[in-house]
C-alpha cells in the first residue's frame, strides 16, 4: 500500500511545564504524512491514552531523558498499520505502541514499551485502558505486589481513575473489603453504586485520616498508592501487621518543584513488619495476555466495570491531558482521534 497523501496534524512540545500543564506548553503543527523507511511502519493513530506519568517526560530536561522541546509529544497510542516495512506488522493490524500526538506516526516497534498487536474483538479504547498498560498496572499491582486475601482490607487512592478503578475492582474480586479514596461526590457515588466498593472517602471534603479510622477500624492490610503525599502518610499510619503498600504512582508530586519531602510515616512500616514495593506494568509484558484474558472475562460477566472518560478530537489533546491534574477525569482519560479506516485484521 502507498503512503496516503494529506496533512499530518500534530502537537509538539513548545515549552516545559512549570507547575501546571496546559495548552501553552504545546504547539499545533501541520506537515506531510511521512513515508516509512526500512524497519518502520506508518500507523494511523486512533486513540491516545492520556496518563499523568507523561508529565514526567516533558518536565525532565533532555539531559535526563526528557522529550526535546520542538519534538512531537509522545504517548501510549492505539493505531492501525497503514503501510509496513517492519517485519511482523501488516497493513490493517491494530497495535498499541509508543507514538506521537498526531494523525500519523512512524514506528520501529520499540519505545518505552514495545508495540503490541491487539485483536479486532477488543475496541481500541479498551486496549489502551483497562486492557492496556493502565489495567496491567492495576492487575499485577494488586495480584503480584499487594496479594490481597479474602477478608483483608484494601484501600486505594485515585480510586475512580484509570488504574485505581481497576485495582479496586480486582481486589474486590479477590474477596477483599475495598475502600476507595477519590476527589468529589460524583466519583465517590460511582465507587459505591457502580464499582460496588465497601466504602468511599471524598478527600476534597472529608478528613481522610478520620474516615479511614471509621471505615477501617482494624487498620489497612493493603494500600494501593496512585497519588503519594499526605494520603500515603495517612495510610502508612494505619497499616496492619504484615501490611503491604503498592507504589504505583504519585500524581500529587508530579510537576512539583522543589519536590515535597517524602513520606513522614514510613517508619511505621518497621512496627508492623510492613512492606512497600513498586509496580511497573511494563515489567510484566510477557504476562499481559494472561491478564487480558482474565479481565476480558470479568468485563463480560459484569464483575469488572471499565470506566472511561473520553474527549474527542486531536485538537483537544492538551486540554484532555490537563484533566488528569485538575482531577476532572472519572475513569481512564482517553482521547479519540479517528476510526480505523482499513478492514480490520484479528
Give me the torsion for CA of 227, 192, 128, 139, rounded to 10°: 70
Question: What is the DSSP-derived secondary structure letter of residue 36?
Answer: P
Pairing of strands 220-225, 239-247: parallel
Q: How far apart are alpha carbons 185 and 188 in whole angstroms?
A: 5
Q: Does 243 bind ligand NAP (CB under 6 A)?
A: no
Contact stretch for ligand NAP (CB under 6 A) within 11-19, 96-104, 146-154, 250-258: 250-258
CB closer to ligand NAP out of 6 and 112? 112
CB closer to ligand NAP out of 82 and 317? 317
Q: Does 251 bind ligand NAP (CB under 6 A)?
A: yes
State in angstroms the smallest separation of the CB of 39 from ligand NAP: 28
x/- map, 128-167, ligand NAP, by CB under 6 A: -----xx--x--------------------x-xxxxx---
Nearest alpha carbon to residue 96 among 135, 69, 68, 139: 135
Contact stretch for ligand NAP (CB under 6 A) within 97-105, 206-214, 248-256, 287-295: 248-256
Q: How far apart are alpha carbons 330 and 312 in whole angstroms?
A: 15
Q: How far apart are alpha carbons 159 and 167 in whole angstroms?
A: 8
Any residues with CB less than 8 A from the CB of 237 and at least 6 apart, and which?
209, 265, 268
Buried b (16+ CB within 10 A) or exposed e, 329-346: bbbbbbbbbbeeeeeeee
x/- map, 18-47, ligand NAP, by CB under 6 A: ------------------------------
Structure-block grid coordinates of residue 19: 507547575
CB closer to ligand NAP out of 148 and 164? 164
Contact stretch for ligand NAP (CB under 6 A) within 88-96, 205-213, 260-268, 326-334: 326-334
State in angstroms the smallest separation of the CB of 36 from ligand NAP: 29
Question: What is the DSSP-derived secondary structure letter of residue 109?
Answer: S
Residues that bind ligand NAP (CB under 6 A): 51-53, 133-134, 137, 158, 160-164, 182-184, 187, 226-227, 248-252, 279-281, 324-325, 327, 329, 332-333
Amino acid at each position: 500500500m502507498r503512503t496516503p497523501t494529506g496533512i499530518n496534524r500534530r502537537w509538539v512540545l513548545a515549552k516545559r511545564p512549570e507547575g501546571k500543564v496546559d495548552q501553552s506548553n504545546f504547539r499545533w503543527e501541520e506537515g506531510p504524512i511521512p513515508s516509512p523507511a526500512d524497519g518502520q511502519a506508518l500507523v494511523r493513530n486512533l486513540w491516545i491514552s492520556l496518563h499523568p506519568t507523561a508529565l514526567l517526560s516533558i518536565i525532565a530536561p533532555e539531559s535526563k531523558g526528557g522529550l526535546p522541546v520542538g519534538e512531537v509529544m509522545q504517548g501510549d497510542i492505539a493505531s492501525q498499520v497503514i503501510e509496513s516495512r517492519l517485519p511482523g506488522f501488516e497493513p490493517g493490524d491494530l497495535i498499541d505502541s509508543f507514538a506521537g500526538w498526531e494523525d500519523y506516526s512512524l514506528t520501529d516497534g520499540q519505545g518505552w514499551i514495545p508495540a503490541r498487536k491487539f485483536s479486532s474483538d477488543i475496541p481500541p479504547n479498551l486496549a489502551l485502558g483497562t486492557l492496556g498498560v493502565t489495567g496491567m498496572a492495576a492487575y499485577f499491582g494488586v495480584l503480584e505486589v499487594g496479594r490481597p486475601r479474602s477478608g483483608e482490607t484494601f484501600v486505594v487512592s485515585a480510586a475512580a481513575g484509570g488504574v485505581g478503578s481497576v485495582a479496586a475492582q480486582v481486589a474486590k474480586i479477590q474477596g477483599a473489603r475495598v475502600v476507595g479514596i477519590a476527589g468529589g461526590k460524583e466519583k465517590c457515588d460511582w465507587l459505591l453504586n457502580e464499582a460496588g466498593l465497601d466504602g468511599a472517602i471524598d478527600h476534597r471534603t472529608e478528613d481522610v485520616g478520620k474516615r479511614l479510622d471509621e471505615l477501617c477500624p482494624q487498620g489497612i492490610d493493603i494500600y494501593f498508592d496512585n497519588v503519594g503525599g499526605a494520603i500515603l502518610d495517612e495510610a502508612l499510619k494505619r497499616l496492619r501487621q504484615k501490611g503491604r503498600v503498592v507504589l504505583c504512582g504519585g500524581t500529587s508530586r508530579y510537576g512539583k518543584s522543589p519536590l515535597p519531602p517524602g513520606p513522614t510515616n514510613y517508619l511505621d512500616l518497621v512496627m508492623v513488619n510492613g512492606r512497600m514495593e513498586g509496580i511497573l506494568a511494563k515489567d510484566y509484558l510477557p504476562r499481559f495476555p494472561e491478564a487480558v484474558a482474565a479481565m476480558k472475562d470479568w468485563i463480560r460477566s459484569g464483575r469488572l466495570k471499565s470506566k472511561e472518560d473520553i474527549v474527542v478530537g486531536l485538537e483537544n489533546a492538551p486540554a484532555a491531558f490537563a484533566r488528569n491534574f485538575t482531577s476532572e477525569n472519572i475513569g481512564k482519560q482517553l482521547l479519540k482521534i479517528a476510526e480505523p479506516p482499513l478492514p480490520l485484521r484479528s
